[in-house]
Amino acid sequence: MSNLNTEQIKLKLNKIIFTQENLINSISIFPSGNIITVSKDKSIRIYEMNFNIIQIIQNAHSNHITYVDIKNEDNFVTCSFDNSIKTWIKKSELNENKYIENHYIKNAHKNLIYNVIYDQNEKIISCGGDRRVIIWEKNNKNNKYQSITSLTHSKRVLSILLLENKNIIISSGDDGTIFWNFQNCILIIHFNNAVCSHWNSLKKLDDKNIIVGGYDGFLKIISINEKQIIKNIENKFMCWGICVIENKGLFITGGYCKDIKIYKNDNYECIQIIKDVDDRMIFGFVRLKNGLIASYGSNKKLILWSL
């Protein structure tokens, strides 16, 4: 954790980048530092670190693309409101490296898909409006993905985390947050009052804790080892995006509000509020390889911040 005192920690506006997309739903960062965004306009956009465009994949899905997760420099996965999941692979053609569709899981869920994980063993984990978390495994005989396990909530599931070193899947949605054993998929504990409000509002805070942003204007800090809620933080707005800056000992929140709030990890003190950041609402944040933080949301721009 950083030794910076509160007076030294300030989030400052660095740059505003206007994209040609509709609202941005999710951003992820490749190991190289290249940036990938997915949007309501059904497109995937890949940028260099300085935001020069590398590739645009139009109509990558037939409806909103809600989430993107990167496995490595050559592979990523997307999910969509068209109920499908797609994996993408980098191919070299005509001296250019371009990403193309690799696997297509049609009707992966019976309702909207909100979040997806692409793990290092090539398993895919997805969650959606059909109240299920599904684990997918590739069949090496036919090179297609098949469902191997389905975990059930009582209401829609908006976000998922995989803690492989703890052997835990965490899923969260309208009926709270559930810890599952990743090996045998047995339910470990269900936190009914830790409701998740968006696919970007369930995050790992550090090796000991996770954070859940809810509809009720509160953030819940849950201990991974103790399996209990250890802190309720009044955030005063519906939290749709959380970014954890571990080396600074901070986390940042935004959501159904134009404001950004910055908190300290150790005592959960709010140390800065930036008013009227976005025209409408903030969907999420991502930390770039150059140390800048990008916020994104319901307009057509990325706002870059420095600490």
Is the entire prediction scored with pTM above 0.85? yes
Contact 297, 16 (CB under 8 A): no
So what's the pLDDT on residue 277? 80
The type of residue at 206 is D
Residues in Cβ contact with 140 at an 8 Å cutoff, skipping those fewer than 6 apart: none
Note the Cα 60 to chain centre separation in Å.
19
Number of domains in the chain: 1
**Distance from C-alpha of 38 to C-alpha of 56, rounded to nearest angstrom:** 10
Both tokens assigned to 25? 């739903």
Place of tokens 């740059």: 15
3-state secondary structure of 165: helix
So what's the pLDDT on residue 22? 77
Residues spanned by the domain of 143: 6-306
Backbone torsions φ then ψ of 95, nearest 5 degrees: 65, 20
pLDDT tens string 64-121? 999 999 999 999 999 999 999 999 999 977 667 899 999 999 999 999 999 999 998 8
**Quick check: is 1 in a domain?**
no
**DSSP 8-class letter at 263:** E
Question: What average pLDDT does range 142-158 have in this prediction?
Answer: 96
Going by C-alpha positions, the residue among 279, 283, 241, 275 that lies closest to residue 259 is: 275
So what's the pLDDT on residue 236? 85
pLDDT tens string 30-79? 999 999 999 999 999 999 998 999 999 999 999 999 999 999 999 999 99
Q: What is each CA distance from 191 to 58, 106, 176, in whole angstroms?
A: 40, 32, 6
Question: What average pLDDT does range 4-14 have in this prediction?
Answer: 71
So what's the pLDDT on residue 57? 96
**Distance from C-alpha of 65 to C-alpha of 24, rounded to nearest angstrom:** 9
pLDDT surpassing 90 at residue 196: yes
pLDDT tens string 178-190? 999 999 999 999 9
**Quick check: is 35 in a domain?**
yes
pLDDT surpassing 60 at residue 4: no
So what's the pLDDT on residue 100? 95
- Percent of the chain at pLDDT above 70? 95
**Quick check: is 89 in a domain?**
yes
Going by C-alpha positions, the residue among 181, 186, 251, 199 that lies closest to residue 38 is: 199
Going by C-alpha positions, the residue among 208, 154, 161, 205 that lies closest to residue 176 is: 154
Please report, for the domain that includes residue 108, its CATH number: 2.130.10.10
Per-residue burial over 107-137, b if 16 or more Cβ lie within 10 Å, else e, is ebbeebbbbbbbeeeebbbbbbbbbbbbbbe
**Quick check: is 296 in a domain?**
yes
Q: Give the residue with greater pLDDT, 275 vs 151.
A: 151
Question: What does pLDDT average to over the chain?
Answer: 92
3-state secondary structure of 285: strand
